[in-house]
Structures are given as structure tokens and as C-alpha cells.
Amino acid sequence: MQLYLVTGAAGFIGRSIAAALLARGELVRGVDNFITGKRANLNGLEAMEFIEGDLNDPRVCAKACEAVDIVFHEAALPSVPLSITNPIATNQCCVGATLNLLMAAQAAGVRRLVYAGSSSAYGDSPTQPKHEGMLPEPISPYAAAKLAGEHYLSAFSHVHGMETVVLRYFNVFGPHQDPTSHYSGVLAIFCRKMLAGEVPTIYGDGGQSRDFTYIDNVVHANLLAASAPAEKVRGKVMNAATGSRITLNDTFHHLRRLTGFKGSPLYAQGRAGDIRESLADITLAQKLIGYEPIVGFPEGLRRTVEWYRQSEEKSHAAQAYPSLEYA
Ligand code: NAD
């Protein structure tokens, strides 16, 4: 049986990939240092072997990669604003950690490493949709760091013949995404606030658009990338998104209906490093790994709101009855 390693397993996407693997009966190991991940995200993943540790430590990487066949590398500090105030931390968690992991994976004979790339690699180019043949134009330290990780994968693929695959995600959303920090994904923040009757803030005029991708689609793309024939995917970079876009203003209106929020958003000045439009061309992933989105935006948003609603209710119940576990 194959052993899978998921880095960033206590994070939003990592725990979702681990859960899908466990549901298929696979052997899974996770590693996380909880820099942004949550212990609560490990609930339900008890069958996963878990290592608490920092991938900046080569010993942690060596232990994590031992006897592993396939790695899903999700660990990173995934925030544009944080990368502007603290680019060193971003570099450590996105570049240093990735290089350590690649070296350990190479030494342990890992067959394939699937990397969480980012649409931020495309920068603010007016060309839509974004396709993988475009010259990368990172406009934030986060984008530069995620792109550096891609280039290290490419180098390891060329030099060592490692089967590396990059999936560039575009604004992923869904259950388990942390809604509590300024750096959280916009949909997670909006869901939490609007369910609580609080006014969400839209930075800019709200006309900026995103290829919001429900988590199940990203998990699906990862599983396909892990099992596709090596000759099709080795060294490849491909978008993992939906191929459709929606503005923040329209998203707000969808959420207004789903949450029952009655107010209007607060508009604030746009943020440095933010991108105006983001739409993926998913043709390459369709061709190479047979990827198609499996959950559309409206249904994904409905499931997401429902999940935040239920976790909010559980959290209130846990406060009232502390013996109940908060999921
Ligand atoms: P997340 O913050 O929920 O998860 C990242 C996890 O990595 C966290 O649990 C964190 O504690 C862990 N981590 C970070 N540095 C580590 C280190 N040095 N050692 C061990 N663990 C470490 O973020 P996410 O949204 O799940 O993102 C997962 C991946 O997807 C990231 O690589 C991110 O760059 C990429 N990505 C995410 C999105 C999105 O919309 N969420 C879009 C594009 C790309």
C-alpha cells in the first residue's frame, strides 16, 4: 500500500486532502507546525499519523518523508498582506521549507510530489483567462515565494527525475477555512461576519473578480495529479480552478441571501498586492489529468455557509456546555 504525506495537514486544504485520502482507505501521514493551522482541523483525521514539527528543520522533513510514496505539499504562509509586512517569514515557510522537503523527499526516494501553487504567480496581467504559458509576474513577496517553490520543483524534476506536479490554485474556499484572521480568505471572513450580523469590508470597489474554487474541486485535482501517468504530468504546472469568475459585489449578494444578512458592505481603500481580476484557463488540467470541476460556485457557497452556521452553533453550545467537544 502507498504511503501519502500531507504537509500543512492542520490547515484548510491539507486537512481536506488528508480527509479524502483517509475516506479512500489510504495510509496517510501529516505534518504541521500550527503556524496558521488549527488543532481542531485534525478532528476526524485520527487515522492519520501526525508529526508536529517545522519543515524548516531538515530532521522533521526526513522523518516526515520516511517510506513515503507521494507527497502533497500544502504547507506555506498563505497571505499576501503578511508577506508585505514580514517577507522573511513568508520566505522561510514557502521557500526554505519547500527546499528542505524536496531534499528529504529525494533522499527518501519519494516518487511524486504534488505542490500547492498559486494563481498569484500570474500577477495583475490584464490577460484573461490566465494560462500556464504566460510569463509569471509576481507582484507580492508571497507570489514570489510560491513561484520560487515551483521553480525548485522544476529543478528537482530535471536534475533528479523526481515526478513533480504543480497545481496552481485560484481562491479556494469551503469548510475548515479559518475565518478569524485579517489574513484569512475573503469568503471565510464574509461568511463568519454575515452569519454573525456583522458588516463585511470590501477593499476597493468590489468590482474585482475571482475564480472562487470550492475545496472539493481542489482535492479532486490533487487526487488526479497523484495518480496520473508520470509521462503526462512530470514537471508540469497546471491551473486547478473552475474556469469561471464572479465579482466580490456579486459574491456579497449571494451571501446576503444565504446568510440572511440585511445590511450593506463597508467599502475601504484597495490593498497593496491585490489583483483586479483572476480567471483560470483549465484546459491543461482537463487534458493532462482529466480534471473537471465537480462542485459549482453556488452549491459550494451554500455548503460553506451551512458549515460555518453549524460550527458557530457548536461553538456556542460548547461555551454553554464546556464538556461538549468543539469540532
Ligand atoms: P492554511 O494556512 O490553512 O494551511 C497551511 C498550513 O501549513 C497550516 O496548517 C500551517 O500551520 C502549515 N505550515 C506553514 N508553514 C509550515 C512549516 N514551516 N512547517 C510545517 N507546517 C507549516 O492555508 P491553505 O489555504 O490551506 O493553503 C494551503 C496551500 O495552498 C498553501 O501552500 C497556499 O499557498 C496554497 N494556496 C491556497 C489558496 C487558497 O485560496 N486557500 C490559493 C492558492 C494557493
Q: Is the CB of 241 under 6 A from ligand 1?
A: no
284 lines ligand 1 (CB under 6 A): no
pLDDT tens per residue, range 20-64: 999 999 999 999 999 999 999 999 999 999 999 999 999 999 999
Euclidean distance between CA atoms 215 and 89, whole angstroms? 26
pLDDT > 80? residue 324: no
Pocket flag, ligand 1, residue 118 (CB < 6 Å): yes
Domains of the chain, by residue range, sit at: 3-173+213-243+276-295
Q: What is the DSSP letter of 199?
A: P
pLDDT at position 321 over 60? no
Instruction: Give pLDDT tens digits for 261-291.
Output: 999 999 999 987 678 889 999 999 999 999 9
Residue 318 — pLDDT band, cuts 50, 70, 90? low
Question: What local confidence, expressed as pLDDT, does residue 319 receive?
Answer: 65
Tell the residue number behind the cell numbers 527518501, with chain if given. 108
CA of 31 to the centre of ligand 1 (A): 12
CA distances from 269 to 142, 248, 274, 317 (A): 21, 14, 11, 37
* Ligand 1 touching residue 211 (CB < 6 A): no
> Per-residue pLDDT for 315 more than 80?
no
Is CATH 3.10.620.30 the classification given to domain 3-173+213-243+276-295?
A: no
10 CA distance to ligand 1 middle (Å): 9
Of 5, 6, 7, 13, the residue with max ligand 1 atoms within 8 A of its CB, to mutate for a pocket test, comes to 13
Q: Find out whether 167 and 116 touch, Cβ atoms under 8 Å.
A: yes
Residue nearest to atom 29 of ligand 1 (CA): 74
Residue nearest to atom 34 of ligand 1 (CA): 78
Q: 172 CB less than 6 Å from ligand 1?
A: yes
Q: Is 54 in the pocket of ligand 1 (CB under 6 A)?
A: yes
The C-alpha cell that represents 51 in the structure block:
508529526
- Pocket of ligand 1 contains residue 8 by CB under 6 Å: yes
- 3-class secondary-structure state, position 173: strand
Ligand 1 centroid to 74 CA: how many Å?
Answer: 5
323 alpha carbon – ligand 1 mean position (Å): 31
CA of 317 to the centre of ligand 1 (A): 29
pLDDT tens, position by position, 211-255: 999 999 999 999 999 999 999 999 999 999 999 999 999 999 999
Model pLDDT, residue 320: 61
* Strands of the chain, DSSP E: 3-7, 27-32, 49-52, 70-73, 112-118, 163-169, 172-173, 201-203, 209-210, 213-214, 236-240, 246-247, 266-268
Average pLDDT along the chain: 94
Q: Which residues are catalytic?
A: 142
DSSP for 233-301 reads HTTEEEEES-S--EEHHHHHHHHHHHH---S-PEEEPPPTT--SB--B--HHHHHHH----SS-HHHHH
The whole-model pTM stands at 0.95
CB 112 within 8 A of CB 163: yes
